[in-house]
Amino acid sequence: MSSIDARGLSCPMPVVLVQNEVKKNAPAEFQVLLDSECSVENVTRFAKNNGYEVKAEENGEETTLICTKK
């Protein structure tokens, strides 16, 4: 599963990274590491709009989103 580390990146960089990954590789599943609530919302929205199911795992101040193609 490909993993995108978008910790510490400000909007809209996390979504840009996810968009690039989805466009290039169209992965069936990927995970995104994030550390801001705002980015979690933005990436979740983008992934859902692009046909992914999103599961969030919180670990302390960080969140891992696991996106699976529906």
> Between 9 and 66, whose beta carbon lies closer to other proteins?
9
Piece of 7-15, 26-34, 52-60 that binds other proteins (CB under 8 A): 7-15
Q: What is the C-alpha separation between 2 and 21, in angstroms, rounded?
A: 9
Q: How far is the CB of 62 from other proteins (least distance, A)?
A: 10
**At 61, phi and psi to the nearest 5?**
-90, 0
Contact call for residues 64 and 56 (beta carbons, < 8 A): yes
Map the footprint of other proteins across residues 14-33, applying CB under 8 A. 15-16, 19, 24
Residue 46 beta carbon to other proteins: minimum distance, rounded to whole angstroms: 6
Contact segment (CB under 8 A) with other proteins among 26-34, 35-43, 52-60 equals 35-43
10 Å CB burial of residue 43 (0-12, 13-18, 19+) is buried
